[in-house]
Amino acid sequence: MTRTASFDPVHPELLLDLEAPTGQPPKTGWPVIVWIHGGGWRLQDRTARPDFSRHFCESGFAMVSIDYRLAPEHPHPAQVLDLRQALRWLRRHANAYSLDSESIGLWGSSAGSHIAAFTALSAHIPRLPGETIPADDDKLSTEVACVVDGYGPTDITALLPGLTESTSGRESRQGPGDRRTATPEEDLLGGLPATATAYETLRSRAREASPTFLDINIPPPFFILHGTADTAVPVDQSRKLHEHLSANGGESLLYLIEGFGHGFFNPGEVLELGPGVRLDNGRLEAEPETPFTADNRGGFDPGGRYPSFALVRDFFAYHLGAPKH
């Protein structure tokens, strides 16, 4: 049974769906996985998600999917603040729903992975800029035990358009005025800048919004998956996060899947970027033995296994304490 609740008194329109396993919960409560949907920060809601009953309630996890405020009306860090508040809500209501408040992991897809990574790596900061924390939640942690990151943007500065490398190594800045619509990254930061000066400000904000530029304090373990043929988010974005985590003492497992594009965590009916844009929906299950390369710098041993939902489940089981099946 899925329970739906509003998790933020400041933004009561934001809802989360909680689906728990059947049967008797462990004494400590069900370990929790929070799904954060994709959609270029501009589209979709909590219903854009995998089948929770299969992924992974039947394996002993409580599954949660959240709404978050969308860009450009709500620029970064609004989405991160929403996830942080959802984590506080889950901890405050853990006993009521038989949840293990000490065993919470994040699972992001595309823009949702950016939100998940930024949230996980900034959890040591008590209050982010613009954050309003309900009085009852002020002492509740936003830390998580682990993160599964699917093809997420990690260095927003590298994704901004209108910047080219000159032969001298300097960056020449092409004005944005001739472009009619903003890119997802520009919308994340508030929309298309009107002037070159505004673009410089946008570039500075892009760095502040990038997980790879955050000062890390004991990061949780990450499992990062990315397709080598992804044209929406270049694979180097995941490589950068993997190196950043490793350089700062974190555990990271990086899987690069040969020929995969964007959106392979999504089931076929989830149109992440809107009508008519299917991406690689359903491909992870449809092609179970796709070649890949892996770089493991963590305690979880994938044993050379192909990328799959089962491997994602076992990563969560390793770090959250749920039984393997």
Taking only the tens place, the pLDDT of each residue in 262-301 is: 999 998 877 778 777 779 999 999 999 999 999 999 999 9
Of 54, 32, 156, the C-alpha closest to 106 is 32
pLDDT > 90? residue 18: yes
C-alpha 100/C-alpha 94 separation (Å) is 6
What secondary structure letter does DSSP report for 262? S
Query: 28-32, 140-144, 168-172, 256-260: which range is least confident on average?
Result: 168-172
Residue-wise pLDDT for 102-131, tens only, equals 999 999 999 999 999 999 999 999 999 999
Contact between 158 and 165 under an 8 Å Cβ cutoff? The reply is no
pLDDT at residue 274, rounded to an integer: 77
Considering the chain, what percentage of its residues have pLDDT values greater than 70?
93
pLDDT band at 322 (very low <50, low <70, confident <90, very high): low
Domains parsed from the chain with CATH numbers: 2-159+205-320 (3.40.50.1820)
Predicted confidence band of residue 313 (pLDDT cuts 50, 70, 90): very high
Least confident of 55-69, 169-183, 229-243: 169-183
Distance from C-alpha of 287 to C-alpha of 222, rounded to nearest angstrom: 23
Q: What is the pLDDT of residue 278?
A: 72
Confidence of residue 28 (pLDDT cuts 50, 70, 90): very high
Query: Residues 21-49: what's their mean pLDDT?
Result: 96
Which residue spans within 51-116 are E strands per DSSP? 62-66, 99-109
pTM for this entry? 0.93
pLDDT of residue 275: 75
Per DSSP, what are the bridge partners of residue 164? 172
| Distance, CA of 223 to CA of 311 (rounded, Å) | 10
Which residue from 213, 208, 209, 203 is spatially nearest to 162, judged by alpha carbons?
Answer: 203
